[in-house]
Amino acid sequence: MLEKEKQERKQGDIILGMMFVIFILVCNLGNYILADQEKSQEENRSLAQKPELDKQSMIRGSFMDQYEDYLSDQFIGRDAFREFNIFVKMVGGSRMESDVFLGEGGQLLKNITKPDQKMLDANIEAINSLAQEVVGKNAEDKEGVENQAAQIQVVENQAAEEQENDDQEVENQETRRVFMLLVPDCTEIYQELLPEFATVESEKEWFDTIENRISDDIIWIDGLSIMSKYKKEKLYYRTDHHWTTLGAYHMFCECKNILGVSDKTDESGDQEEASEEQAVENAKKSENEKQYEVYPITTDFNGMLSGNSGFCPNEREEIDVYIPKEGAVSVIVNYVDQQKRKTSLYDRYMLEEKDKYSVFLGGNSSLIDIRTTSTSEKKILLIKDSFANCFIPFLTEYYSEIVVVDPRYYSGTIHDVMDTYPVDDILFLYSGATFLNDNNIKGFIMD
């Protein structure tokens, strides 16, 4: 090596050593000066806080782990580092981060994973038994009236009195019905947007399995076909796993007749007894008649798929709210567990958060009781995940009471809910991803 080169090399070494030390010290200084953050908006999770030093946690080693998490979570410029990191990975070919695909045209798609068969079986079984209890009872009662012998048997039972009470109730009410609506995920509908060579589990196959396995007491709504029908429109957000209000709107219009609700203009007392043909006709009419005004309430939405994966951090989307052009009903929304009452289905403050989809009903709550000024007498219980949040506003005009339960957050059982809030119909409204992987449904239904 030439003397000059040697000298240069030496200088280079010294400069690098200096830069290294300065970099570390500057980062430390920054970490020291900047206040710790409670929560990461970008990743939608709470960040680790400075751990308390005590003997126990030192010995168990948990202090060391917490301290490491703390340094990592509160590191200066964390979001910028993440963004930079994902950029580098994208350059290196990455099209999937944290189980989110970067699809064509910047559409983010959550990976569909194989559900746990046992859990799914248990959930279906629980739902079937619920339907048996709710719907089957109706059938039993009718039979009972026709069949003397059967009734005698029932009378002999200790439960006879209860049964009679129930009979009266049932007479007053209409027949209870249980609906099940699984909304396919974006990835299922727009599979062709997946990055090259990427494949996912078929949600359709699982939906078919579920449809076959649920009992006849349950009315299955084919969400997959409905969504496929409107595929050309923007049914899902590009940076979030939820469906857009437009997606929910189409779904609602298509299943109005199945749910047995129709426009107020056509409404009459015996509307529920209308034959199927009439219902279809009504629905057709209402589709033409019912009109909504669309209000964009934000154009600055960067969804959680983007937040989790780090892809497309600069993409901004619009969130719409649909308000009927005429005859909008008033609502009282009672967040039971939080003991809060509001007069709007929308929570404006959520628009300042990262997860702006929470504008609908303020995000996920365990139990919400919505009362409306609708002239309809009907009451419905929704057992749902977050997909329902932007669907519920469409229901308000057709039900006097909507009880909304999210089993993932609700600690009681369905019997607690139904005792407090007697309802006519039950609707299971889930996105495929949640339903296939949810382990709370069984516990919620069976004690």
Query: Which residues contact other proteins (rule: CB under 8 A)?
Result: 5, 8-21, 23-25, 27-28, 31, 58-59, 61, 64, 67-68, 71-72, 75, 78, 81-82, 84-86, 88-89, 91-96, 195-199, 310
- Tell me how crowded residue 23 is: count the other CB atoms within 10 A of its CB: 10
Q: How far is the CB of 184 from other proteins (least distance, A)?
A: 21
Residue 315 Cβ vs other proteins, minimum distance, rounded to whole Å:
19
Least Cβ distance, residue 231 to other proteins (angstroms): 22
Distance between CA 43 and CA 305 in Å, rounded?
A: 9
CB of 36 to other proteins, least distance (A): 14
Please, what is the minimum distance in Å from the beta carbon of residue 322 to other proteins? 38
Nearest residue (CB) to other proteins, 88 versus 150 = 88
Three-class DSSP labels, the chain: CCHHHHHHHHHHHHHHHHHHHHHHHHHHHHHHHCCCCCEECCCCEECCCCCCCCHHHHHHCHHHHHHHHHHHHCCCCHHHHHHHHHHHHHHCCCCEECCEEECHHHCEEECCCCCCHHHHHHHHHHHHHHHHHHHHHHHHHHHHHHCHHHHHHHHHCCCHHHHHHHHHHHHHCCCCEEEEEEECCHHHHCHHHCCCCCCCCCHHHHHHHHHHHCCCCEEEECHHHHHHHCCCCCCECCCCCCECHHHHHHHHHHHHHHHCCCCHHHCCCCHHHCCHHHHHHHHHHHHHHCCEEEEEEEEEECCHHHHHHCCCCCCCEEEEEEEECCCCCCEEEEECCCCEEECCCECHHHHHCCCHHHHECCCCCCEEEEEECCCCCCEEEEEECHHHHHCHHHHHHHCCEEEEECCCCCCCCHHHHHHHCCCCEEEEEEEHHHHHHCCCHHHHHCC
Q: Which is nearer to other proteins, 109 or 445 (CB)?
A: 109
Q: How far is the CB of 306 from other proteins (least distance, A)?
A: 14
What does the alpha-carbon distance between residue 347 and residue 341 come to, in Å, rounded to a whole number?
12
CB closer to other proteins out of 53 and 323? 53
> Which of 34, 64 has the CB closer to other proteins?
64
* CA dihedral for 420, 425, 431, 435, sign (positive or negative): positive
What CA–CA distance (Å, rounded) separates 439 from 168?
36
- Least spacing, CB of residue 163 vs other proteins, in Å: 49
| 45 vs 229 by CB, closer to other proteins | 45
Residue in 256, 249, 257, 242 with CA at minimum distance from that of residue 430: 242
112 versus 382: smaller Cβ distance to other proteins: 112
**Shortest distance in whole angstroms from residue 348 CB to other proteins:** 33
Q: Tokens in use for 402?
A: 């909507």
Q: Which is nearer to other proteins, 195 or 422 (CB)?
A: 195
Q: How far is the CB of 218 from other proteins (least distance, A)?
A: 32
| Of 27 and 119, CB closest to other proteins | 27
Residue closer to other proteins (CB basis): 192 or 447? 192
Least gap, CB of 25 to other proteins (angstroms): 7
Q: Which residues contact 14 (CB under 8 A, 6 or more apart)?
A: none
Nearer to other proteins, 5 or 277 (CB): 5
CB 14 to other proteins: min, Å: 5
Q: Which is nearer to other proteins, 64 or 152 (CB)?
A: 64
307 vs 150: CA distance, rounded Å: 60
